[in-house]
Structure 1
Amino acid sequence: MFASKPRAFNVGAVFLVCLFASTSWLLVGAQNNITNPTEVRALRAIKGSLIDTNKNLSNWDRGDPCTSNWTGVLCFNTTLDDGYLHVRELQLLNMNLSGILSPELGRLSHLRILDFMWNALSGSIPKEIGNITSLELLLLNGNHLTGPLPEELGYLPNLDRIQIDQNNISGPIPQSFANLNKTKHFHMNNNSISGQIPPELARLPYLVHFLLDNNNLSGHLPPELSRMPNLTILQLDNNDFGGTTIPNSYVNMSKLLKLSLRNCNLQGPIPDLSSIPQLGYLDLSSNRLNGTIPAQQLSQDITTIDLSNNELTGSIPANFSGLPNLQKLSLANNSLNGSISSTLWQNKTLNATESLTLDLENNMLANISGSINLPPNVTLWLKGNPVCINDNISFLQLCGSQSENENRIQSTTNSIAGCPAQSCPFPYEYSPTSNLSCFCAAPLLVGYRLKSPGFSDFISYKHRFEEYLTHGLNLDFDQLYIDSFEREKGPRVRMYLKLYPVFNASGNNEHIFNRSEVQRIRGMFTGWLIGDSDVFGPYELLNFTLLDIYKDVLITTSKSGISKKALIGIVLGGIAIAVTLSAVITLLIIRVRLRNYRVVSKRRHASKASLKIDGVKSFTYAELAMATNNFNSSTQVGQGGYGKVYRGTLADGTVVAIKRAQEGSLQGEREFLTEIQLLSRLHHRNLVSLIGYCDEEGEQMLVYEFMSNGTLRDHLSAKSKGPPSFAMRLRIALGSAKGILYLHTEADPPIFHRDIKASNILLDSKFTAKVADFGLSRLAPVPDVEGEAPAHVSTVVKGTPGYLDPEYFLTHKLTDKSDVYSLGVVFLELLTGMQPISHGKNIVREVNIAYQSGMIFSVIDGRMGSYPSECVEKFVSLALKSCQEETDSRPSMAEVVRELEKIWQMMPESDNGIPESSDTLPEKMTSPFSLASSSMVKNAYVSSDVSGSDLVSGVVPSITPR
């Protein structure tokens, strides 16, 4: 009896061997295609140099890259001459990757697209990329890359596009870039590139877009650039060309559509640009240009003329009248004189979507000739001119302060007249084509940005843009829906798009794109296969988001060369042999499986039992589905790396926030259990409370108290209609610090949060600050038998770029001072309203520079109104001490709280904010304070952080600037 068990096992093993042997000979020669071993080793090295916090590349350890569909790895469908498959594209957009780029990238010798956009990579660009002679698209924008541009990149013979914008690249532009004879797009804006623009670049025959704005370029503007035969956009704003002039040769750029040289320290006269036949956008503002404005006949295509903030004299040229497409004429802050001709606006015919803004403030303009009756869509600003001194009441409305909000968000609502409200099951919604027939469809969600548009106001071009994009994507016009759009600095236009499948009368009422169509559309975006547009300029893909229903649709299987007939033969042969042998061993296999099943069931039961924690309720899926109307999209209020957050109402009427992990989400089992175990024993008024959880088969959800005033980041953003006062900001800082102090000193054992940021500080109905999101938290070291404990925990670096403690990042040693650093960054956000990292600039460095130069009040957020300067100075000092690079130089959290309480005691009685209970704030707080209206927050949620990983994992993005 005892001998029969190993014998049964051996029979099963023999069966498996026989089955494999019976079919493997059919596969030999028919399917021997694998990825080139050199490229496999390179991919493994590339992964080894990356920090994949969210495990997006976890399948890079399994199987063959091309035949096992490694994430982001796309291969040629057939083998090349050497008999191997080769990597064609490396598409790792928005994967929340950090670490560095490996030099082994240079071994992907057949690569055409290298895409690491919108991650958090640091270090320098490897010179070995210059070995990939097949490379066509080099896409590294939106990271934290540093160091100089390698000379070797200038020898890529097939490079079409280089995008390194929004990094920290420094050093000069290599002269070798003049060899990029096929390159059409140089996107290098928002870096720290320095030195002279190499005149040799004039040799580039196909360069179309030259974007180098927001760098540290110096020297002079090379006259030779006018020799570029196909240049359409020259954008060099915010550099310093040392008081030199605009070369007269630039009037010979016959194909130029946009010339933007804003704030470049240029002087001298404005060249006569009338010889540029299609010039549509001219921005020479914020320089030292002098003389008169040339009486030139500008292009009839021009939409924008901005010559403000110069030293121009003379009158407004008559030829500025009657330009049919003009949207903006800004001549403010010059020394122009004479009269203003009403033909500037009277000669224009505007439809309902068109507008014209004339900004003539702060000149010496004496009067208006002609009628001052302005059409409804015309805005005229005259403040600071002699014409406003006139007692004529007709001018009063034109002489006020300009209040135009250039960064407004404009959105639309997908409501289809005649269709019943909310009849589509999530994630379906009514398609815009529902005006023909009410049908439900699951859209593709696309984050999209126009990087250098040739206009000032998108509204009048919206219909034209829809025609352009749908034509470029080969879609019907009504398949595109613009969910929202927003003007950003640059200027740029960021938008969120929804693409819908077409109506199929023979199908059911729920429509989706098929696999091939999703792959085709995504390939059009990621391969930059949508044709360039004169007026819309270059674009960039911010995210391509798939709803749950499209899960795994982007997996592309490389063709192996096996015909269908051969594959059928293999399968049938294997089945025949399997049937022959199966009768011998079926009973034995069943016995083995039953035994394993008992073990697995026992483990699963033990795991469930471990989650039964006192004080935390275990909810069923049905209970939470009922609380959210079956997770209806109308109840969704946010998202993060784990999935989506919903507002729910429990059966007893309690309003809660439900954080639902998406299947295969970025929050793993460890983070889920960590948050439950930690929050179940943490009780403090400045920590968010965990009410319960759901851990049914395939579902992981956490249920929190609902925070009706959203996140601190919401209130500090540029979109906030009622930004908080200084008193309220100080109150939020004190509450946050007290919550973290509790974690460090009163929790047993103490806890290091590890992910403190403005989007993890939530505000309740009374604007009490509560720290949230403990998925990355770690327990502090436990004392040994002698009562001594290490000062740090050694761990893999996790957290959010911009908030990370530099010493922790370098040494992997996590301490309580790591939280102090992160909170210090939050303090700087409270003081300035700035993001931690924006346009390649770090908030700690920027505030330090202002502080040391005695200009600290120049960076303080002016939206918070008046404030006591002494309190602000002390708050700034505390914030900067907390952000010291050396751990020992930072205060402890207890010292932070004490200092904040001292600052609070210094506040005037009338500026004390909303009173809290006496156990949390000094007794001095007694008077109520009028806060920003809570109506500014549309929704509240547990965490509003939108990382790049969310944008590729199927999470619906909120409409927030990057």
Structure 2
Amino acid sequence: MLADPFKRLRNWNKGDPCTSNWTGISCFNATEEDGYWHVREVLLLDMNLSGTLAPEIGQLSYLKIFDIMWNQMSGTIPKEIGNVKSLELLLLNGNQLSGSLPEELGYLPSLNRLQIDQNGISGSIPKSFGNLNNAKHFHMNNNSLSGEIPVEISNLPNLVHLLLDNNNLTGHLPPELSNMPRLLILQLDNNQFTGSHIPASYANMSKLLKMSLRNCSLQGNIPDLSGIPRLGYLDLSWNNLSGPIPTGRLSSNITTIELAHNSLNGSIPSNFSGLPLLQRLSLSSNRLSGSVPSTTWQNLSFSDNATLVLDFRDNLLSDVSALLNPPANVTIELQGNPVCTNSNRLSISHFCVSQAQRNDEKNSNEQIGCPPHACPTESNFEYVPESPVPCFCAAPIEVGYRLKSPGISSFSPYETYFETYITSGLNLASYQLDIDSYFWEHGPRLRMLLKLFPQFDNHSNTFNLSEVRRIQELFTGWTIHHSDVFGPYELLNFTLKGPYANMVLESPKSGIGMGAILGIILGAGAVIVLLSAIICLLVMKRHTRYHHGISSKHLLSKSPIKVDGVKDFTYEEMVLATNNFSRSTQVGLGGYGRVYKGLLADGTVVAIKRAEEGSLQGQKEFLTELELLSRVHHRNLVSLVGYCDEASEEMLVYEFMPNGTLRDHLRGKSKEPLGFARRLRIALGSARGILYLHNEANPPIFHRDIKASNILLDSKFVAKVADFGLSRLAPVSDLDGSAPDHVSTVVKGTPGYLDPEYFLTHKLTDKSDVYSLGVVFLEILTGMRPISHGKNIVREVNTAYQSGTLSSIIDQQMGSYPSECLDQFMKLALRCCLEDTMARPSMAEVVQELENIWKMTPDCDSTPPDSVSISTGNPSSPASESYNGYGSDHISGVVPNINPR
């Protein structure tokens, strides 16, 4: 029994226990003095831990580092953390925490870094945070914070990074933020500062490197920011800014200028020319007029891998100032300008068509001319790509790494600079680092897989224990020096496998147990020995599943599945694709299980849906979806890449949809609002996919779970229907040609989308899918949820339509729309949702009506869009962080608590 175990702390013994397995790392640094244990550091990175944070954490009164990043912790942040006055690093990002931020956090005098990003934390930012005079890093992005940015934060003398993007903040932008003497990055994207202007005082931020205010509902003029001497990245896109573009010359450090999707007018000024580091200038979707400038790239010296993108699409540009003859490194986009239709110049015609999608990604694994079997890859050894000694075979440490707010929009020209930056920070030779892969994620953020190799001259092909510990401490202690170009980073995982698997980085010198500390941190109960045993079993189980998954593949009683024409992946391939199903790769969660974004060995980006272990529901849906998707193929149905059916694992591998789900876009989780034409195109594509299921699949298929989160969008916003786990085959005709018109089955589906007739009678028909799709159409037009605060979308829209107040419920994010086309679309949606099943249109009629509406819609081709699209799954495209369309949040065999109309 531990008596007052955390009462006194004197010194931090670096030799205290820190263990690692290949899924994550866990460290507890503590010392014993006079019979008391003193805890200094708690590190539980990517350990797949769940539970809540207990108030007793306030007893760790000498704790300096508390790091539980990338786990599954839930509940609230206990206010008792405010008692830990020694705390310097509070790293809670990548969990499922909720509730509000305790005001007590604002009284931690030593706090240097606060990271709560990627949780579900709500409420306002406490004014007490203005007391954190030692704070340098506030990373609070991707939560649900609301209210105004407290002016008190502007008093912080040392803050360098203020990341509050992707929240629900409102009010005005505080002009006082310009008083912060050391602020380098101001990132407030995707908030709702409705009616606010960009304060003129922001032009006085003398240290600022990056200003990102994308999609913040800002209005007014753009202030002249030419006085910010080191500004390298400016994003003011997707706002309501107006007036001309300031003519002051921006900093020579500028790499990215994003002013698209505003109401800017006037001509394109000449101050954009001669910027030596410029990579991207985006002025699309404004009201700019006059000539297309031909001087922007002049006096620039392009290296082999440097590029410049000039995006002037969808403006009022009517002429060119001179001959457009840019070098090959420069891309100009002019589509949607009068100059493309009014000019007879052949010299500009190729600038008026869609450019090929540009990738800024790397997938190595190239062959380097060494004997293919001389390096034991099955033991995690590989050839060091840049080794000074040819064919040096060694075992790397793999590091999942992400730039959270980079000051660039193209990485290729900076790759060598980045390698120097990392290796110097880790005190490694340049050849010891290989950037195995990198790609852009939504944000934009840049994600990488780094491989670190041991030195050749130590006559060993593995790192020794002290080197692994040293490198791990440099990453987890945030001691790698700051980079102006690359901005703040985050450690996603620190993967030790092969010869490093389950490495004990230091033998425990103290008798305090992992379970004891976890018991206090997680509030897991009084029986510490039992808790320790559970943790050990979980770690051993994950380790055993990886190392013995292949050898035990067919030892279970169930027969393995073989499907012709569909790739059968091994469990090991799925592990490698997802960094062992790291929390950082999870993009969805539903009743079936979790969904991960994966990178296959051939560079293909995929979505991997993994059934929860032992889930009978998951197994049934796995078999259903595998059976159906392996034999249906249509441009508007999500494609099945393969599956994994190994031991107790069942996974489905799909093409990755870079633009996420329709639900994400309708809920405002994307930076690009959907206009009417795009919404209509998505509706038409969805209807075509379902029509194929009803009329062309053999036998026909009833989907049974159509909803906005099951409609995925590829890189070109082509709609693809997903999630066939609940689908049922339609009745098959008898020999005499007769067949029932329904399938009798228990009710399954998602509340709000369920056909009332199916709900009451348990009779599933093709018109049940029509009803569900009609609800989706209503969502597309109104942005409303199917059920919200007891209100049903069908009832609400019918009421508004009959009372003549329809315009009051149309989604304002849609922008302008043709009234007649919208009215026809709304009538069709309501017909689909009629209570009388027979009165609803068939899916063929739905498609025909949508095609007619498309022909009526201005600015659309007279021919309905052919949705043929090859989705590359390009990670550089804007991607949603949620892919619930691959997961499922439906009910199963349960009568929903809703009132049918």
- The two structures have a TM-score, normalised by structure 1, of 0.59
What amino acid does structure 2 have at the position aligned with 1:309? H
Instruction: Supply the distance in 2 between the matched residues of 1:362 and 1:725 (Cα, whole angstroms).
Output: 25
Counterpart of 1:466 in structure 2 is 419
Contact (CA 8 Å) 1:383, 1:398: kept in 2 or not? no
Please state whether the residue corresponding to 1:534 is helix, strand or coil: coil
Instruction: Supply the distance in 2 between the matched residues of 1:216 and 1:629 (Cα, whole angstroms).
Output: 41
Tell me how far 1:417 sits from its aligned partner: 2.7
1:91 pairs with 2:44? yes
Q: Deviations over 1:820-849 (max 9, x none)?
A: xxx99xx99x979x9xxxxxx999989998
Counterpart of 2:690 in structure 1 is 730
- The two structures have a TM-score, normalised by structure 2, of 0.63
Tell me how far 1:501 sits from its aligned partner: 2.1
Contact (CA 8 Å) 1:414, 1:432: kept in 2 or not? no
Instruction: Supply the distance in 2 between the matched residues of 1:496 and 1:848 (Cα, whole angstroms).
Output: 46
Counterpart of 2:121 in structure 1 is 169
Instruction: Supply the distance in 1 between the matched residues of 2:619 and 2:179 (Cα, whole angstroms).
Output: 67
Matches within 5 A, 1:1-12: none
What amino acid does structure 2 have at the position aligned with 1:282? L
Matches within 5 A, 1:143-222: 143-222=95-174
2:500 to 527, 550, 563: 550
Tell me how far 1:418 sits from its aligned partner: 2.4
Instruction: Supply the distance in 2 between the matched residues of 1:414 and 1:554 (Cα, whole angstroms).
Output: 30
Instruction: Supply the distance in 2 between the matched residues of 1:216 and 1:436 (Cα, whole angstroms).
Output: 54
Counterpart of 2:366 in structure 1 is 415
Contact (CA 8 Å) 2:288, 2:315: kept in 1 or not? yes
Instruction: Supply the distance in 1 between the matched residues of 2:832 and 2:505 (Cα, whole angstroms).
Output: 52
Matches within 5 A, 1:6-21: none
Matches within 5 A, 1:721-800: 726=686, 729-730=689-690
Instruction: Supply the distance in 2 between the matched residues of 1:738 and 1:848 (Cα, whole angstroms).
Output: 35
Please state whether the residue corresponding to 2:297 is helix, strand or coil: helix
Contact (CA 8 Å) 2:311, 2:334: kept in 1 or not? yes
1:226 pairs with 2:186? no
Matches within 5 A, 1:816-855: none
Tell me how far 1:267 sits from its aligned partner: 3.0
What amino acid does structure 1 have at the position aligned with 2:500? Y
1:324 pairs with 2:276? yes
Contact (CA 8 Å) 2:20, 2:503: kept in 1 or not? no
1:342 pairs with 2:310? no
Cα gap change, 1:482/1:639 in structure 2, threshold over 3 Å: closer, same or farther? closer
Matches within 5 A, 1:358-437: 358-397=310-349, 399-403=351-355, 405=357, 408=359, 410-424=361-375, 425-426=377-378, 427-434=380-387, 436-437=389-390
Counterpart of 2:452 in structure 1 is 499
Instruction: Supply the distance in 2 between the matched residues of 1:487 and 1:103 (Cα, whole angstroms).
Output: 38
What amino acid does structure 1 have at the position aligned with 2:218? L
Q: Deviations over 1:771-822 (max 9, x none)?
A: 789xxxxxxxxxxxxxxxxx99xxxxxxxxxx9999xxxxxxxxxx9xxxxx
1:534 to 484, 487, 494: 484
1:488 pairs with 2:438? no
Instruction: Supply the distance in 1 between the matched residues of 2:5 and 2:750 (Cα, whole angstroms).
Output: 37
1:352 pairs with 2:304? yes
Contact (CA 8 Å) 1:414, 1:430: kept in 2 or not? no
Contact (CA 8 Å) 2:32, 2:38: kept in 1 or not? yes
1:711 pairs with 2:666? no
Please state whether the residue corresponding to 2:183 is helix, strand or coil: coil
Contact (CA 8 Å) 2:19, 2:504: kept in 1 or not? no
Instruction: Supply the distance in 2 between the matched residues of 1:188 and 1:333 (Cα, whole angstroms).
Output: 30
Q: Deviations over 1:273-322 (max 9, x none)?
A: 23221111112223333333333232111111222333333333322211
Matches within 5 A, 1:555-574: 555-560=505-510
Contact (CA 8 Å) 2:100, 2:121: kept in 1 or not? yes
RMSD over equivalenced CA pairs, Å: 6.0
Cα gap change, 1:318/1:102 in structure 2, threshold over 3 Å: closer, same or farther? same
Instruction: Supply the distance in 2 between the matched residues of 1:876 and 1:844 (Cα, whole angstroms).
Output: 19
Counterpart of 2:208 in structure 1 is 256
Cα gap change, 1:843/1:104 in structure 2, threshold over 3 Å: closer, same or farther? farther
1:443 to 396, 399, 403: 396
Counterpart of 1:101 in structure 2 is 53
Instruction: Supply the distance in 1 between the matched residues of 2:94 and 2:447 (Cα, whole angstroms).
Output: 15
Counterpart of 1:476 in structure 2 is 429
Counterpart of 1:37 in structure 2 is 5
Cα gap change, 1:263/1:931 in structure 2, threshold over 3 Å: closer, same or farther? closer
Please state whether the residue corresponding to 1:711 is helix, strand or coil: strand
Tell me how far 1:390 sits from its aligned partner: 3.8
Instruction: Supply the distance in 1 between the matched residues of 2:579 and 2:723 (Cα, whole angstroms).
Output: 18
Cα gap change, 1:542/1:387 in structure 2, threshold over 3 Å: closer, same or farther? same
Unaligned runs of 5+ in 1: 1-31, 41-64, 563-607, 620-626, 645-656, 658-666, 745-755, 760-766, 774-790, 793-802, 807-816, 818-822, 835-840, 860-865, 882-890, 912-929, 939-944, 948-962
What amino acid does structure 2 have at the position aligned with 1:258? K
Identity rate of aligned residues, in percent? 44
Unaligned runs of 5+ in 2: 9-15, 513-551, 586-599, 601-609, 632-643, 662-681, 713-719, 727-745, 753-761, 763-767, 798-807, 815-820, 852-865, 875-880, 884-901
Contact (CA 8 Å) 1:196, 1:220: kept in 2 or not? yes
Contact (CA 8 Å) 2:257, 2:282: kept in 1 or not? yes
Tell me how far 1:257 sits from its aligned partner: 0.7
Please state whether the residue corresponding to 1:345 is helix, strand or coil: coil
Instruction: Supply the distance in 1 between the matched residues of 2:622 and 2:443 (Cα, whole angstroms).
Output: 47
Counterpart of 2:190 in structure 1 is 238
Give the count of matched residue pairs.
Answer: 693
Contact (CA 8 Å) 1:688, 1:770: kept in 2 or not? no
Please state whether the residue corresponding to 2:37 is helix, strand or coil: coil
Q: Deviations over 1:877-904 (max 9, x none)?
A: 99xx9xxxxxxxxx9xxx99x9999758
Counterpart of 1:4 in structure 2 is none
Please state whether the residue corresponding to 2:214 is helix, strand or coil: coil
Contact (CA 8 Å) 1:416, 1:434: kept in 2 or not? no
Please state whether the residue corresponding to 2:27 is helix, strand or coil: strand
Tell me how far 1:146 sits from its aligned partner: 2.6
Instruction: Supply the distance in 2 between the matched residues of 1:109 and 1:288 (Cα, whole angstroms).
Output: 49
Q: Deviations over 1:60-90 (max 9, x none)?
A: xxxxx96999996533354357642425223
1:115 to 48, 55, 67: 67
What amino acid does structure 2 have at the position aligned with 1:84? W
1:76 pairs with 2:36? no
Instruction: Supply the distance in 1 between the matched residues of 2:300 and 2:181 (Cα, whole angstroms).
Output: 34
Cα gap change, 1:730/1:440 in structure 2, threshold over 3 Å: closer, same or farther? farther
What amino acid does structure 1 have at the position aligned with 2:483? S
Contact (CA 8 Å) 1:117, 1:143: kept in 2 or not? yes
Cα gap change, 1:171/1:876 in structure 2, threshold over 3 Å: closer, same or farther? farther
Contact (CA 8 Å) 2:173, 2:199: kept in 1 or not? yes
Contact (CA 8 Å) 2:279, 2:308: kept in 1 or not? yes
- Greater radius of gyration (CA): 1
Please state whether the residue corresponding to 2:274 is helix, strand or coil: coil
